[in-house]
Amino acid sequence: MIMSEPEEITSITGTRLPLKCSVNYISFSAHTDYDQTSEFIRLLRPSHIVLVHGEQSEMNRLKTALKREYEDQPDSIQDIFAPANNEEIVLNFRGEKMAKVVGRLAAKKPKPGDVVSGVLVKRGFNYHIVSPEELKHYTELSQGVVMQKQTVPFTAPFSLLHHCLLQLAGVVEQVEQSGKNCLKVFDSVLVVQEKNKVVIQWEGSTMNDMYADAVLTLCLQIEANPQAIKQSSLRSITQGKDKSSFEDRVQKLLVEMFGEENVSYQPKLKYITVTIDSDKAVINLKSYEVQCKCETLHQMITSAIRRLHIALTPVNVPTIAVT
């Protein structure tokens, strides 16, 4: 009676209960014929089949027939067993997974050793690698961008911040946004001037977050003591300072930029190591050459050392003899 899926059924206690499920019947009888067994296997699509509970000759016939039926589909069934009683069988499952590169990533055939970077998408038992920009074309997903914004008190002259950012980044772009003065540094961090505060905006990423931290630290230092910052930015050191003083300043600069845990200073070996995630940069303190495979990190450190050297180099003042 329940196979007809009535609206209500009678429980063992005699209570009438609403039927809130679908009812299906699957026969596991040992007397199924080939058509029933084959249809059942086709629905389940198992990778391994073990035939049991039957005469050895009949099971071998069924095994042969199934192999013949699925011989043109090697990916559907890997092994079919018809073991005798107490016979041990070994099931091997493929551990490697293959991913197909699609979209713009597949436009150029990669060479051995090339790194293909994208988003791994799984559909059923298939894997695809697509670029984040093409997610919407191959999946129901879409790419999102995290915009970061931080507001800090700032009462010092905005021109002083402009000067200090120029020392930090080398290039500062002056832009206007909604009638407000803005400074853009590192091509990614926007500093917006507001009354008694500045707003720092950037698109979230590993590198941009590091740039924003440097800008934020600079703003806080200026706000804490604007006069001292102004005087230090305009002051030159004397020619009597030795190279060890400059080495210490480079080390302190890199710590301010990347954090103490990411900077290793070896004064005896005359080098400094900066490690950011998987990227590593080595600064030779004798020649101040930077060795780094990451072009962005290499350029950032090289520019910072060059700007520091320019800022600390004294201005040559001509000597006037008085008689």
User: Both tokens of residue 150?
Assistant: 């931080």
Q: Return d(Cα 222, Cα 210) in angstroms, integer.
A: 19
> Out of 31, 162, 163, 309, which one is annotated catalytic?
31
Percent helix, percent strand, percent coil in the chain, to nearest 5 = 35, 25, 40
Q: Return d(Cα 186, Cα 202) in angstroms, integer.
A: 10
Contact status, residue 198 vs residue 219, Cβ threshold 8 Å: yes
128 is catalytic: no
Buried b (16+ CB within 10 A) or exposed e, 40-77: ebeeeeeeebebeeeeeeebeebeeebeeebeeeeeeb
Calculate the CA 180 to chain-centre distance.
Answer: 34
Nearest to 165 by CA among 148, 146, 147, 181: 181
Which residues are known to be catalytic? 31
